[in-house]
Structure 1
Amino acid sequence: MNGASREALAAARESLDALTDNTSVDAAKLAEELAAVTALLHREVSLRRVLTDPAQAGEAKAELAARLLGGQVGGETVDLVSGMVRSRWSQSRDLVDGIEELAAAADLTASQRAGALDDVEDELFRFGRIVASNTELRAALTDKSATASAKGELLRSLLGGRANPVTERLVVRLVTAPRGRSLEQGLESLSKLAAARRDRMVAVVVSAVPLTDQQKQRLGAGLARIYGRQMHLNLDVDPEVLGGISVRVGDEVINGTIADRLEEASRRMAG
């Protein structure tokens, strides 16, 4: 998002945080209702254009949203969405993206309250690795000819009882309503959002053998010093790296593997 949309989303995030700081608010229900609003606005293109029309007064758009949603969703959801349409958005799609993000954030808040946020983060990462290594599964989950209900049933058969309910809800929503994103992009966005709930960054760590608890602690502390933020480690084991570790934080890659050093030596020799 750029410009006005980025500012509007930042304000919406603050509103959600203020709302969910109150433990009497049902964060899971809030997530479900925000997801329903996302689906509505994704489907009704003309409506989202009206709600983001810069020529219309913010208060008039908020009143329209309240009339449409009142009685369909709870008051907290109405207040959040009304506040969002008061803001200025660069593109109508940005509003829908923002509401969708709030839905995921509310679900993650529910897992955080239950002390399960770390589990959800790890499960999202592991599911991404499973999909990446299983071409048949990925094809089934991204098949445009398959119905959303069929994909949902497949995911529930895979994740039901094996993953945290929040993980299951997030993945089912992503797969059944991708809204133009690839499965990999969606999972990465969810992982980053989960990390942000604790103001943490995500480091994807690949090593030849599993790291010990002490190694993980040292690595996490070192990365936290480098980036100035608490770091969540997503760990993967790949014997092909031969030794050492490779760390990716966002778009930055820190390579310290034997395979990487051998490749660099080969390039120098060839040069």
Structure 2
Amino acid sequence: MPRIRPAARSRVLAVTVAAAAMGATLYGVGAADAHDSVPRSDKQIPNLTDVVSEIKAYYGDTVDASGEHFASPTSNYAKQVAGIEKKAESYLAHEAGHGDHDGRHGQPAKPAIVLDVDDTSVNTYNYELEQGFNYTPASNSAYIANKNMDAVFGMNTLTNWAAAKGITVFWITGRPEAQRADTVRNLAAVGYQPAADTAHLYLKNAAAPPAYLPCGATCTTVQYKSGTRAHIESMGYNIVANFGDQYSDLSGGYADKTFKLPNPMYFLP
């Protein structure tokens, strides 16, 4: 999940309200923007408390002695994620070792996968509840600096399995470059074994954007992520699968197949 344009971040309730009111549907890559329509009546707006309660039920809200909230491994969220991962594993098992001849100098391209970080690799559920689904850069940075987010159920296992099969793992996140050390620490702490080093972890660098992004510091999420995937493929990799919880993580090409992870908490264009 990228954290690129906080002002543009649509809160869960706004998205849910619009979708319920107007029948808006997020469809495939390049989703409809669910908050474009304005409700004409209060009757078209779901109750905020009810929506939060439904989110908690979906994640199987579990609270520990210190008041931290966690998703349950027996929740419908966990079950949905497991179904997606099962399909991904079957697909990657076929792709492993089958390099396409589109690499540099006519050599077979090296298979790779790309993962988003937030709500694809790690779960932001506890942070979202702590903030009342009100993301701010300051609260997010403070949380990431002091706490590790849990791995999204099974994604660390799937990622490690893919790496063991010879598939190179990359992360592309909209987190700012200043959060690199905390991101590396969190991924390692929750069991991701492939190195999230500077060659394999890409963060948003607004102060010094890379030359391979013509849009520089003004990139949209889609431009930033697809442009970075294009850069990875220019180095002789073939991205066989791209994993993300937002449609903007997946749009723009430069991946053979996309896998959308569930996230009812927020929407990022």
Shorter-normalised TM range: under 0.3
Give TM-score, length-normalised by structure 1: 0.26
Higher relative contact order (CA 8 A, sep 6+): 2
Give TM-score, length-normalised by structure 2: 0.26
Larger Cα-atom Rg? 1
Higher helix share: 1
